Amino acid sequence: MNKYSYILSLLFSASMFAQHAPAKKQSQSILILNATAHLGTGQVIPNSAIGFKEGKLTLVADASTIRLVDGAYDQTIDATGKHVYPGFIAANSTLGLVEIDAVKSSDDESEVGDMNPNVRSLVAYNAESKVIETVRPNGILMAQITPRGGTISGTSSVVQLDSWNYQDGVVKENDGIHLNFPSIYSSRGWWAEPSGAKLNKDYIKEIADIKSFLISTKASQGETSKERNLVFESTKGLFDASQTLFIHADHELQIIDAIKLSKEIGVKKIVIVGGFEAYKCADLLKENGIGVLLRRVHDMPEFDDQDVNLPYKMAKMLTDKGIVVGLENSGDMERMNTRNLPFLAGTCAAYGLDKEQALQLITANTAKILGIESFCGTLETGKDATLFISEGDALDMRTNKLTEAFIQGRKITLENHQSKLNDIYKEKYNQK
């Protein structure tokens, strides 16, 4: 191969696997008929009529109980035998913040320093990340983009996953600040040779440092000064209820201390992220109206004396206590594993939750926890037409096969570089 052919082949490869352009604004009204509609409210309509115009749902009804006027909708989709769902929401996600872990210049998930409430993950969000296109075919259409690192990591924002840039994608800017609560234990050894854990002797001091910092930021809110303090200014929303404090904590004592600290300093809204032992203080969470974004349920128990199925059962245990529960998927290979979010909910259904309750873990409940329930999370008239059609049960990896998906009424592509490779090699081996 000469150098010109080589260059052309590179250009062809680059264009073949380039990102798709975001879908254009909805111009034609659409009606989806005859599908089983899972509304996200717990209600199921076996033979539904779902209509939307200009990006908003205008009709959610049983098709057998209404009379449709000819021409009321520009396009009709016959979804007989299929299922319609509200778009799934990935909470506490680093989608778009890291492309390749080993390439430092593509890693924007954390900032230097320990107390960074002013860091905004949104401005680092790369809407053209190739990983984003791979999660949409499983129904994940929105995400809370969240920073990592330090004690106070920074501010998250909620985006829809089909945009040119973060300005186009944002649906709720700076929804909350993320606090990594001090750990009770400190690990010893390293990942290849772990040697157990020991109590963190600095636990009380680290809590006191957080308390001192937040009290100082609160006290500064009413001050006037020629010099602005962006770090202190950025916490204002915690004290006027315009932002949520997302507290990343797993153990019972951490959660209890986190709630106590928040009440002492006057934080209006908090959510527990992780919450492995949240079931141990469920009454306290319920009493204070605190939701939980439960950590990845495809996991093992932390201690030898715990039920091996405990991670799978936790969503039901908390739901039965009346706590609003959502799912998050942080951890190893979290961006690529975002596609498995529906199957985490499916596992929760297999271990006790009603299937429609399990659906709410990644739709209505998550929307409520993130403060976006007024316009998404369920299929209800007036809300955004962010939804998809699946051939079967979207919480089952065998039948989660999307045929069409819409974000704010815009029909998005479900093709990505992996599906293209699949088509190429099917052709190579003469498969249908």
Q: For residue 185, what pLDDT is reported?
A: 81
Dihedral of the alpha carbons of 362, 363, 365, 368, in degrees to the nearest 10: 130
Spacing of C-alpha 175 from chain mean position: 13
Q: For residue 69, what pLDDT is reported?
A: 78
Task: Quick: pLDDT tens for 159-195.
Answer: 999 999 999 999 999 999 999 999 988 766 665 566 6
Amino acid at 392: G
Q: Do the first three CATH levels of 21-87+377-432 and 88-181+242-376 match, i.e. the same topology? A: no
Q: Is the pLDDT of residue 243 over 90?
A: yes
**CB within 8 Å of 428: residues ≥ 6 apart:** none
pTM above 0.95, yes or no: no
CA angle in degrees (0–180, nearest 5) for 2-420-109: 95
CA distances, 265 to each of 127, 208, 238, 242, 272 (Å): 36, 12, 10, 16, 17
The 10 Å CB-count burial string (b at 16+, else e) for 376-392 is bbbbbeebbbbbbbbee
Q: Is the pLDDT of residue 80 over 80?
A: yes
Segment 37-49 shows an average pLDDT of 97
Ordered strands of the 36-38 beta sheet: 44-45, 36-38, 83-86, 387-390, 402-407, 410-412
More confident residue, 174 or 4: 174
Assign 141 a pLDDT band (cuts: 50, 70, 90). very high
CB 66 within 8 A of CB 48: no
Q: For residue 7, what pLDDT is reported?
A: 46
| The two structure tokens encoding residue 369 | 């926890």
Return the closest-CA partner of residue 144 out of 326, 359, 350.
326
Return the closest-CA partner of residue 91 out of 296, 343, 349.
296
Tell the residue number behind the tokens 């032992």, with chain if given: 277
| The two structure tokens encoding residue 79 | 């979804």
Return the closest-CA partner of residue 157 out of 371, 392, 393.
371
**Cα separation of the two ends of the chain:** 31
Assign 15 a pLDDT band (cuts: 50, 70, 90). very low
Ordered strands of the 56-62 beta sheet: 56-62, 48-53, 30-33, 75-78
Q: For residue 10, what pLDDT is reported?
A: 42
Segment 12-29 shows an average pLDDT of 75
Output the CA torsion sign for 420, 426, 427, 428.
positive
Distance CA 90, CA 250 (A): 19
Assign 287 a pLDDT band (cuts: 50, 70, 90). very high
**CB within 8 Å of 346: residues ≥ 6 apart:** 358, 393, 395, 396, 397
Q: For residue 220, what pLDDT is reported?
A: 84
Q: For residue 68, what pLDDT is reported?
A: 82
**CB within 8 Å of 153: residues ≥ 6 apart:** 110, 111, 116, 119, 146, 147, 178, 179, 180
Q: For residue 304, what pLDDT is reported?
A: 83
Mean pLDDT, rounded, of the chain: 91
Q: Is the pLDDT of residue 89 over 70?
A: yes
Q: Among 1-5, 251-255, 355-359, 361-365, name the one with the lowest average pLDDT.
A: 1-5
Q: Is the pLDDT of residue 2 over 70?
A: no
Distance CA 21, CA 3 (A): 30
Q: Does domain 88-181+242-376 have CATH number 3.40.250.10?
A: no
Which pairs with CB-CB distance under 8 Å and at least 24 residues apart come from 205-209?
Answer: 206/151, 206/182, 207/181, 207/182, 207/257, 207/261, 209/151
- Matching CATH number, 21-87+377-432, of 2.60.120.260, 2.30.40.10, 2.170.190.11, 1.10.274.10: 2.30.40.10
Percent helix, strand and coil across the chain, each to the nearest 5: 35, 25, 40
Task: Quick: pLDDT tens for 195-213.
Answer: 667 888 999 999 999 999 9
Q: Which residues pair with 410 in a beta bridge?
A: 407
Q: Specify burial of residue 200 (Cβ count, 10 A radius: 0-12, 13-18, 19+).
A: middle
Delimit the domains of the chain by residue range.
21-87+377-432, 88-181+242-376
Q: Is the pLDDT of residue 3 over 70?
A: no
Return the closest-CA partner of residue 411 out of 22, 17, 34.
22
